[in-house]
Amino acid sequence: IYFDTFPDHSGLNPIEESNTNILIVNRLKKIADDLYQNTELNRAIERQDATISQRLIAQELYGNKK
Protein backbone atom coordinates (compact mmCIF):
# COMPACT_ATOMS: atom_id res chain seq x y z
CA ILE A 1 0.00 0.00 0.00
CA TYR A 2 1.26 3.44 -0.91
CA PHE A 3 0.24 6.40 1.23
CA ASP A 4 0.31 9.59 -0.79
CA THR A 5 1.36 12.38 1.53
CA PHE A 6 2.29 15.95 0.85
CA PRO A 7 5.32 17.77 2.16
CA ASP A 8 4.43 19.30 5.49
CA HIS A 9 5.71 22.62 6.74
CA SER A 10 3.56 22.80 9.87
CA GLY A 11 5.55 20.35 11.97
CA LEU A 12 3.42 17.26 11.40
CA ASN A 13 5.07 14.16 12.82
CA PRO A 14 5.61 11.81 9.84
CA ILE A 15 5.83 8.75 12.10
CA GLU A 16 2.46 9.53 13.65
CA GLU A 17 1.01 10.13 10.21
CA SER A 18 2.24 6.71 9.09
CA ASN A 19 0.97 5.03 12.25
CA THR A 20 -2.45 6.60 11.76
CA ASN A 21 -2.57 5.50 8.11
CA ILE A 22 -1.68 1.94 9.13
CA LEU A 23 -4.33 1.89 11.88
CA ILE A 24 -7.00 3.06 9.45
CA VAL A 25 -6.01 0.53 6.78
CA ASN A 26 -6.05 -2.29 9.32
CA ARG A 27 -9.49 -1.21 10.55
CA LEU A 28 -10.85 -1.04 7.00
CA LYS A 29 -9.41 -4.49 6.23
CA LYS A 30 -11.20 -5.88 9.30
CA ILE A 31 -14.45 -4.25 8.21
CA ALA A 32 -14.05 -5.72 4.71
CA ASP A 33 -13.43 -9.19 6.19
CA ASP A 34 -16.48 -8.88 8.45
CA LEU A 35 -18.67 -7.74 5.57
CA TYR A 36 -17.42 -10.56 3.35
CA GLN A 37 -18.57 -13.06 5.98
CA ASN A 38 -21.88 -11.31 6.71
CA THR A 39 -24.62 -13.76 5.73
CA GLU A 40 -27.33 -11.10 5.75
CA LEU A 41 -25.28 -8.90 3.41
CA ASN A 42 -24.57 -11.81 1.08
CA ARG A 43 -28.29 -12.59 0.90
CA ALA A 44 -29.10 -8.94 0.18
CA ILE A 45 -26.51 -8.91 -2.60
CA GLU A 46 -27.99 -12.09 -4.10
CA ARG A 47 -31.43 -10.41 -4.10
CA GLN A 48 -29.84 -7.23 -5.50
CA ASP A 49 -31.31 -5.36 -2.55
CA ALA A 50 -29.22 -2.19 -2.62
CA THR A 51 -31.06 -0.54 0.27
CA ILE A 52 -30.38 -3.33 2.75
CA SER A 53 -26.83 -3.77 1.44
CA GLN A 54 -26.10 -0.09 1.94
CA ARG A 55 -27.62 -0.14 5.43
CA LEU A 56 -25.52 -3.14 6.51
CA ILE A 57 -22.33 -1.60 5.17
CA ALA A 58 -23.11 1.71 6.89
CA GLN A 59 -23.76 -0.10 10.17
CA GLU A 60 -20.38 -1.79 9.93
CA LEU A 61 -18.62 1.48 9.10
CA TYR A 62 -20.41 3.81 11.49
CA GLY A 63 -22.07 1.62 14.11
CA ASN A 64 -25.68 0.69 14.74
CA LYS A 65 -26.98 4.21 15.23
CA LYS A 66 -30.52 4.57 13.96
Q: What is the tens place of the pLDDT at every residue in 15-25?
A: 898 899 999 99
Q: What is the tens place of the pLDDT at every residue in 32-56?
A: 999 999 999 999 999 999 999 999 9
- Helix/strand/coil for 19: helix
Q: Tell me what pLDDT residue 64 has.
A: 79
Q: Can you tell me the distance from the alpha carbon of 16 to that of 27, in angstroms, rounded to the nearest whole number?
A: 16
Q: Tell me what pLDDT residue 66 has.
A: 60
Evaluate if pTM is beyond 0.85: no
Q: Tell me what pLDDT residue 65 has.
A: 65
Q: Can you tell me the distance from the alpha carbon of 32 to that of 30, in angstroms, rounded to the nearest whole number?
A: 5
